[in-house]
Copies of this chain bind each other. A is one copy, B any other.
Amino acid sequence: MPSETLEKDPILETDFVQEVIRQLRALDTFGARDGMSDHQLLERLLLTRERLREIPMVGTPDAEALTRLRVFYNALAALIERECGRMATPMIQVNAEGFGRVIVSVGKLLVLDRTLRDVHRFGFESLSRMKTEADKQLSVALNILGDHPKAAGI
């Protein structure tokens, strides 16, 4: 996706993508990417078909893959938190074979609980696909919250 397209994309203004940008800046502990614009940061995050082709089918998740995973679920947790008004905490576990589990808890309730496979290949080829997946998972999480508000402490 050329920068000009991404720069004008209205998706950049959505809560989810704004949160993704915040997470990307937060994970950049040493400020190595301070000079990058938001859309430069986002472009690095996307797993385009070309990049995906370069990743072996079987492998150990590298730092980039873990960043893609963390940014996605941290941003999703932040959105859940905003929607329900209670702290939503993500927790991610990945082993060297690229299998793992991600949860997001609100109070004593697991509003999200997913098994991860092929973490080294985790990613989205466009912001719109990432947002679609986030919206889907957000909606499931909010339904779970609606079903069990007491366990969530709401």
Binding site for B on A (CB under 8 A): 91-93, 101, 103, 105, 108-111, 113, 144, 148, 150-151
Chain B residues in 8 Å Cβ range of A91: 91, 93, 101, 103
Contact call A151/B109, Cβ cutoff below 8 A: yes
* Number of chain copies forming the complex: 2
Q: Which 10 pairs between the two chains have the least Cβ-Cβ distance?
A: A151-B151, A148-B151, A108-B110, A91-B93, A105-B110, A109-B151, A108-B109, A93-B93, A91-B101, A108-B144
Q: Closest Cβ of chain B: how far from A7's Cβ, in Å?
A: 36
Q: Closest Cβ of chain B: how far from A104's Cβ, in Å?
A: 11
Q: Which residue of B has the minimal Cβ distance to A110? A: B108
CA distance A22 to B101 in the complex (A): 24
CA distance A113 to B152 in the complex (A): 13
Chain B residues in 8 Å Cβ range of A151: 108-109, 148, 150-151
Q: Closest Cβ of chain B: how far from A116's Cβ, in Å?
A: 12
CA distance A108 to B92 in the complex (A): 16
Q: Which residue of B has the minimal Cβ distance to A107? A: B110
Q: Closest Cβ of chain B: how far from A45's Cβ, in Å?
A: 23
Chain B residues in 8 Å Cβ range of A93: 91-93
